[in-house]
Amino acid sequence: MTKLTTRAARHAVETESISRAYDKYIFRTRRKKRASKWLTEELLRNVHHDMFGLVWNWAGKYRTENLNIGMDWRLILEQVRLLCDDFLHWDSPASTMPILEVAARLQNRLTKIHPFRNGNGRHARLITDIFFYSREHPLPEWPQIHLMSKGHQIREQYIAAMQKSDQGDFSALAKFFETCLPKHS
């Protein structure tokens, strides 16, 4: 772990580490085979560690306390394993579930579990991108909400879609993902 004394330094290291994790898990790796058990508890921890290990000494380790978001910390391991099993079904060749719905379910569940103390949203987006890449689907261009003049509106739209997903309706989140896909002219 690097000793970071300012917020700007931490942000720079996070940005570089996340970029390296994208290189490792998307651009320099083989696509994950459909119906293979590639989404594992170990992969989830390794991805988080690769994204944030230079910033936080607890990166890649599940939280051991309750926060104001996410489920009870004692349920994390069980819920992550259930997510991995459910994902195997959603992504099976027999599944008729559309790709965007699988991605919405994956990102929503991972975010709802909130397995780590911090970085869960960025982690869930990278895991979703690994899925998209594996299915040879265009990768979303996730909005950098904090840099956008109307970022608060986009964030509200995303949160509303996540809340609907929490109730079992993944259509708004799938639609949000669709709006993030690259526009080809």
What digits encode the pLDDT tens for the residues 41-70? Answer: 999 999 999 999 999 999 999 999 999 999
- Tell me, yes or no, whether 183 lies in a domain: no
CATH at 18? 1.10.3290.10
- Tell me, yes or no, whether 96 lies in a domain: yes
Residue range 1-20: mean pLDDT, rounded: 83
Buried b (16+ CB within 10 A) or exposed e, 7-30: eeeeeebbeebbeebbeebbeeee
Total domains in the chain come to 1
Degrees (nearest 5) of the Cα angle 17, 122, 88?
A: 110
Q: Judge whether residue 89 has pLDDT over 60.
A: yes
Output the pLDDT for position 185: 46
Question: d(Cα 173, Cα 165) in Å, to the nearest integer?
Answer: 7
Query: Could you count the other beta carbons within 10 Å of the beta carbon of residue 129?
Result: 19
- Tell me, yes or no, whether 148 lies in a domain: no
Q: Which domain holds residue 134?
A: 7-140
Q: Judge whether residue 19 has pLDDT over 80.
A: yes
Output the pLDDT for position 119: 94
| Residue 49: HSE in the Cβ half-sphere, 13 Å Cα cutoff | 11
- Tell me, yes or no, whether 45 lies in a domain: yes
Whole-prediction pTM? 0.91
pLDDT in tens, 25-38: 998 888 888 878 99
- Tell me, yes or no, whether 153 lies in a domain: no
- Tell me, yes or no, whether 177 lies in a domain: no
- Tell me, yes or no, whether 165 lies in a domain: no
Q: Name residue 22's amino acid.
A: Y
- Tell me, yes or no, whether 59 lies in a domain: yes
